[in-house]
Amino acid sequence: MRLRWLVMAVAAVFLAGLPLFGQMGSKSSALSDKEQNGKKMFQQRCSVCHTPPLAGDKTYGPMLNSDTVSGKEAAARDIIMKGTARMPGFQYGLRREEIDNIVAYLKTVKSTGQVGKPSSIADAAKGQQD
Protein backbone atom coordinates (compact mmCIF):
# COMPACT_ATOMS: atom_id res chain seq x y z
CA MET A 1 0.00 0.00 0.00
CA ARG A 2 2.79 2.42 0.91
CA LEU A 3 4.63 1.55 -2.28
CA ARG A 4 1.57 2.43 -4.35
CA TRP A 5 1.29 5.87 -2.68
CA LEU A 6 4.98 6.47 -3.15
CA VAL A 7 4.78 5.59 -6.86
CA MET A 8 1.72 7.80 -7.29
CA ALA A 9 3.42 10.72 -5.51
CA VAL A 10 6.58 10.41 -7.64
CA ALA A 11 4.48 10.16 -10.81
CA ALA A 12 2.47 13.24 -9.83
CA VAL A 13 5.61 15.27 -9.22
CA PHE A 14 7.12 14.09 -12.50
CA LEU A 15 3.98 14.80 -14.53
CA ALA A 16 3.52 18.23 -12.92
CA GLY A 17 6.99 19.22 -14.11
CA LEU A 18 6.52 18.17 -17.75
CA PRO A 19 4.97 21.46 -18.95
CA LEU A 20 7.90 23.40 -17.45
CA PHE A 21 10.42 21.04 -19.05
CA GLY A 22 8.83 21.66 -22.44
CA GLN A 23 9.12 25.41 -22.01
CA MET A 24 12.78 25.20 -21.04
CA GLY A 25 13.66 23.44 -24.27
CA SER A 26 11.71 25.74 -26.54
CA LYS A 27 13.59 28.44 -28.42
CA SER A 28 12.52 32.01 -27.87
CA SER A 29 10.41 32.99 -30.87
CA ALA A 30 11.48 36.62 -30.44
CA LEU A 31 15.09 35.88 -31.44
CA SER A 32 16.27 34.64 -34.82
CA ASP A 33 18.72 31.74 -35.11
CA LYS A 34 21.55 34.25 -35.58
CA GLU A 35 20.51 36.16 -32.44
CA GLN A 36 20.10 32.91 -30.45
CA ASN A 37 23.64 31.91 -31.43
CA GLY A 38 24.87 35.39 -30.48
CA LYS A 39 23.17 35.11 -27.10
CA LYS A 40 24.90 31.78 -26.51
CA MET A 41 28.30 33.22 -27.53
CA PHE A 42 27.71 36.31 -25.35
CA GLN A 43 26.83 34.16 -22.34
CA GLN A 44 29.91 31.98 -22.85
CA ARG A 45 32.49 34.65 -23.67
CA CYS A 46 31.27 38.08 -22.58
CA SER A 47 28.84 37.83 -19.69
CA VAL A 48 31.51 37.34 -17.02
CA CYS A 49 32.55 41.00 -17.46
CA HIS A 50 29.51 42.59 -19.12
CA THR A 51 26.67 41.43 -16.86
CA PRO A 52 26.39 42.01 -13.11
CA PRO A 53 26.85 38.92 -10.93
CA LEU A 54 23.85 40.02 -8.86
CA ALA A 55 21.12 42.53 -9.62
CA GLY A 56 22.36 46.01 -8.78
CA ASP A 57 26.06 45.06 -8.75
CA LYS A 58 28.56 46.83 -10.97
CA THR A 59 30.16 45.15 -13.95
CA TYR A 60 33.84 45.01 -14.85
CA GLY A 61 33.12 46.12 -18.42
CA PRO A 62 30.32 48.29 -19.78
CA MET A 63 26.75 47.04 -19.79
CA LEU A 64 26.07 46.16 -23.41
CA ASN A 65 22.66 46.57 -25.01
CA SER A 66 20.94 47.99 -28.07
CA ASP A 67 21.72 51.57 -26.98
CA THR A 68 25.47 50.94 -26.83
CA VAL A 69 25.69 48.93 -30.07
CA SER A 70 23.05 50.22 -32.51
CA GLY A 71 24.61 52.51 -35.09
CA LYS A 72 28.09 51.49 -33.91
CA GLU A 73 28.11 47.89 -35.15
CA ALA A 74 31.47 48.23 -36.95
CA ALA A 75 33.12 49.65 -33.81
CA ALA A 76 31.60 46.89 -31.68
CA ARG A 77 32.92 44.20 -34.06
CA ASP A 78 36.35 45.82 -34.06
CA ILE A 79 36.50 45.94 -30.26
CA ILE A 80 35.36 42.33 -29.94
CA MET A 81 38.01 41.26 -32.44
CA LYS A 82 40.96 43.38 -31.27
CA GLY A 83 40.06 44.05 -27.65
CA THR A 84 41.00 47.11 -25.59
CA ALA A 85 43.46 47.87 -22.81
CA ARG A 86 41.10 46.13 -20.36
CA MET A 87 39.51 43.55 -22.65
CA PRO A 88 41.08 40.68 -24.55
CA GLY A 89 40.45 40.44 -28.27
CA PHE A 90 38.63 37.41 -29.64
CA GLN A 91 39.94 37.45 -33.22
CA TYR A 92 41.52 34.02 -32.69
CA GLY A 93 38.80 32.58 -30.46
CA LEU A 94 35.68 33.54 -32.42
CA ARG A 95 34.86 33.38 -36.10
CA ARG A 96 33.65 36.53 -37.87
CA GLU A 97 30.15 35.02 -38.09
CA GLU A 98 30.06 34.45 -34.32
CA ILE A 99 31.10 38.05 -33.67
CA ASP A 100 28.36 39.24 -36.05
CA ASN A 101 25.89 37.07 -34.14
CA ILE A 102 26.94 38.63 -30.82
CA VAL A 103 26.39 42.11 -32.26
CA ALA A 104 23.00 41.03 -33.67
CA TYR A 105 22.01 39.69 -30.24
CA LEU A 106 23.17 42.82 -28.41
CA LYS A 107 20.92 44.90 -30.69
CA THR A 108 17.95 43.01 -29.17
CA VAL A 109 18.95 43.63 -25.54
CA LYS A 110 16.99 46.43 -23.90
CA SER A 111 18.78 48.94 -21.68
CA THR A 112 18.42 48.37 -17.94
CA GLY A 113 19.32 51.95 -17.10
CA GLN A 114 22.47 50.71 -15.35
CA VAL A 115 25.66 52.22 -16.71
CA GLY A 116 29.04 50.52 -16.66
CA LYS A 117 32.45 52.09 -17.25
CA PRO A 118 33.13 53.01 -20.01
CA SER A 119 29.53 53.84 -20.79
CA SER A 120 29.50 53.09 -24.49
CA ILE A 121 31.24 51.43 -27.40
CA ALA A 122 32.47 54.85 -28.52
CA ASP A 123 34.11 55.44 -25.11
CA ALA A 124 35.72 52.00 -25.25
CA ALA A 125 37.02 52.71 -28.74
CA LYS A 126 38.58 55.96 -27.45
CA GLY A 127 40.23 53.96 -24.66
CA GLN A 128 41.58 51.54 -27.25
CA GLN A 129 43.30 54.38 -29.11
CA ASP A 130 44.93 55.82 -25.96
Instruction: Pick the range with the lowest mean pLDDT from 25-34, 35-44, 106-115, 116-125.
Output: 116-125
Predicted confidence at residue 54, as pLDDT, reads 86
The CA radius of gyration of the chain, in Å to the nearest whole number, is: 20
Report the alpha-carbon distance of residue 51 to residue 81 in Å, rounded.
19
> Between the CA atoms of 74, 72, 126 and 92, what dihedral angle is there, to the nearest 10 degrees?
-30
In one-letter notation, the amino acid at residue 90 is F
Q: What are 40-46's contacts with CB under 8 Å, separation 24+? A: 41/94, 41/98, 41/101, 41/102, 41/105, 42/102, 42/105, 42/106, 45/90, 45/93, 45/94, 45/102, 46/102
**Statement: the pTM of the whole predicted model exceeds 0.85:** no
Report the alpha-carbon distance of residue 79 to residue 124 in Å, rounded.
8
pLDDT in tens, 63-110: 999 999 999 999 999 999 999 999 999 999 999 999 999 999 999 998
Work out the average pLDDT over 38-50.
94
Domains parsed from the chain with CATH numbers: 31-129 (1.10.760.10)
